[in-house]
Amino acid sequence: MPVVLTRLDLLPSLGQVKPLVVLLVVASGAIGVAIGATTPLTRMLSRPLQPQRRFMQDLLAYDFYVDRFYERTIVRLVGLFSTAVYWFDRYVVDGIVNGVGLASIMGGEALKYSISGRSQGYMLTILLGIGLLGAFLSWSKMGF
């Protein structure tokens, strides 16, 4: 990883590192270690009786309930949204595609009844087709 980052020229140079930020990060870690190492683990501290302290302890022990909050908001939201998106894909996008396919089949089925054997019917169809094509071409020519 460091090799890749170096090759991509992504690692900041030492000149860009801010000493104050480094000091604060290291100091906060060191203070935490010092408090943890010097605080005796008394019975009262391990499970206090007062509700406020108990609440505070649980709040810290369960990481401010971030996991449960995350589970009940983001995870549930993503789950619901993904289900909705897949429903849309399956029934709307794919439904339109299948609908077009079905319409083509039904159109073909319906057209077979137009085969009457009368030549004037065929002539009318051809004339209508040419007329529509001509109208479309002249319209598109004007459009361009």
Partner 1 sequence: MLGPLVWLPMVGVGLFFLPGLDGRRLRHVALAIAGLGFLWSLVVALQFNGQTAALQFVQNLDWLAPLGLNYRLGVDGLSMPLVVMTGLLMLVAIYCTEPEVDRPRLYYIMVMLIYTGVIGAFLSQNLLLFFLFYELELIPLYLLIGIWGGPRRNYAATKFVIYTALSGVLILAAFLGVVLLGGARSFDYDGQMASGLSMTAQLVLLGGILIGFGIKVPLFPFHTWLPDAHVEASTPVSILLAGVLLKLGTYGLLRFGLGLFPEAWAAIAPFLASWAVVSVLFGTFSAIAQKDMKKMVAYSSIGHMGFVLLAAAAATPISYLGTIFQMVAHGLISGLLFVLVGVVYKKTKTRDIDTLKGLLNPERGLPVIGSLMILAVMASAGMPGMMGFISEFLIFRGSFERFPIQTLLCMVGTGLTAVYFLLLVNKTFFGRLPEAFTNLPEVRWSERAPGFVLAVLIVIFGLQPNWMARWSEATAVDAVKSVALVRPAMAQLPGDQVSVYSN
Q: By the criterion CB under 8 A, which residues form the site for partner 1?
A: 1, 3-4, 7-8, 78-79, 81-83, 85-86, 89, 93-94, 97, 101, 144
Smallest distance from partner 1 to CB 71, Å: 13
Task: State the minimum distance, in angstroms, from the CB of residue 89 to partner 1.
Answer: 5
CA 86 to chain centre: 11
Distance, in Å, from the CA atom of 19 to the CA atom of 91, rounded to the nearest integer, reads: 58
Choose between 40 and 143: whose C-beta lies nearer to partner 1: 143
Q: Which residue has the tokens 């998106």?
A: 85
- Length of the chain in terms of residues written: 144
Residue among 27 and 93 whose Cβ is closer to partner 1: 93
Residue for token digits 């299948």? 98
Nearest residue (CB) to partner 1, 60 versus 105: 105
